[in-house]
Structure 1
Amino acid sequence: MPSVFTHAAIPLALWCASERGRISTRLLGAGVVAAMLPDADVLAFALHIPYADGFGHRGASHSLLFAMLLAALAIPCARALQASRIQAAVFVFICAVSHPLLDALTSGGLGVALWWPWSEQRLFAPWRPIRVSPFANNFFSARGLQTVLSELRWVWLPLLIGVTGWRLIQHRTPASSTPP
């Protein structure tokens, strides 16, 4: 898995790319939580649930169904999130589903159960450039540093370039796009 900090990169990038005020800070907070929440399944280790189990790490909480459930939960909270119901659901869904998609790009683990409960199969992306993050107690190590550098290269930098490019395109005025 990428580090918990990198899972927050997707909602942050969407917020930075949007027009000011389009995504409220409350909705951003819900998106960050939705992007990080799937890794709460590490509690399965403490409960002696095997990693490969449907409820183990990268199992049910890394599925499209889980992302849809979080999106459905955002609907009745839309007013508190200062968003329309559709905006709350879509934003939370995108943030939640970004988690297993990023995990599928990592170099370790058993893959993600994206299609759970319809399939127990664990999936990886065909291209896996992101170093898998060590668990909490080993995060501040040489391997943890390698993970952070990998995440900067393959997640944060492309998002920074994408957001900057998007903002530049959005700020172009019609007068500057026509030749003199």
Structure 2
Amino acid sequence: MPSIITHAAVPLALWYAADRGRISTRLLVAGVAASILPDLDVVAFALEIPYADALGHRGASHSLLFAGSIALLGAALHRPLRAGSLQAAVWLFVCTASHPLLDAITSGGLGVALLWPWNDQRFFAPWRPILVSPFANGFFSARGIATLLSELRWVWLPLFAGATLWKLIQRGSARGPQERF
């Protein structure tokens, strides 16, 4: 899995790319929380639930159904989040679903149960450039630093380069068509 820090990169980059005020601070915070939420399944280790179990790490909480459930919860709570219910739902779905998609491009683990409960198969992407993050006790090791550098290269830099490019394109189109000579 990418580090918990890197799961927040997707909502942060999307917020940065959006027009000012389009995504409220409260909705941004909810999106960051949603992007991290699937990793609460690490509690399964303490409960001695096997990793490969549907309720184990990267299981049910890493499914599209889970992301959809979080989206519906966000839609139900849209007034406190100060956003339209559809915007909140889509935002929270994207933020939550980004978690297993990032996990699927890491170099380790058993894959992610994207299609649970319809299919118990765990999936990896065909391309897996991100080093899998060590757990808490090994995070501040040489391997942890290598993982953070891998995440910087394959997640943070591309996301923020894309968001910056998007902002530049939007700024250019806001000026209107330019006369050609």
TM-score by length of 1: 0.98
Correspondence for 1:171: 171
Shift of 1:83: 0.4
Distance in structure 2 (CA, Å) of the matches to 1:12 and 1:58: 23
Q: Which runs of 4+ in 1 moved over 3 A?
A: none
Correspondence for 1:97: 97
Deviations 1:47-82 (A, max 9, x none): 000000000000000000000000000012111111
What is the correspondence of 1:28-107 to structure 2 with a 5 Å cutoff? 28-107=28-107
Distance in structure 2 (CA, Å) of the matches to 1:119 and 1:20: 40
Distance in structure 1 (CA, Å) of the matches to 2:63 and 2:88: 19
Correspondence for 1:109: 109
Distance in structure 1 (CA, Å) of the matches to 2:110 and 2:142: 23
Correspondence for 1:8: 8
Counterpart residue identity of residue 35, structure 1:
S
Counterpart residue identity of residue 179, structure 2:
T
Shift of 1:6: 0.5
Shift of 1:178: 3.3
Distance in structure 1 (CA, Å) of the matches to 2:74 and 2:13: 20
Structure 1 gaps, min length 5: none
Distance in structure 1 (CA, Å) of the matches to 2:54 and 2:136: 22
Shift of 1:136: 1.0
Does the residue aligned with 2:78 lie in a helix, a strand or coil?
Answer: coil
Across the aligned residues of Structure 1 and Structure 2, the Cα RMSD in angstroms comes to 0.8
TM-score by length of 2: 0.97
Shift of 1:44: 0.2
Alpha carbons of structure 1 residues 93 and 110: separation in structure 2 relative to 1, 3 Å: same
Correspondence for 1:24: 24
Shift of 1:179: 2.6
Distance in structure 1 (CA, Å) of the matches to 2:82 and 2:136: 34
Deviations 1:141-180 (A, max 9, x none): 00000100000000001011101100101111115x4335
Deviations 1:78-132 (A, max 9, x none): 1111100000000000000000000000000000000001111110000000000
Deviations 1:2-50 (A, max 9, x none): 0001000000011000000000000001100110000000000000000
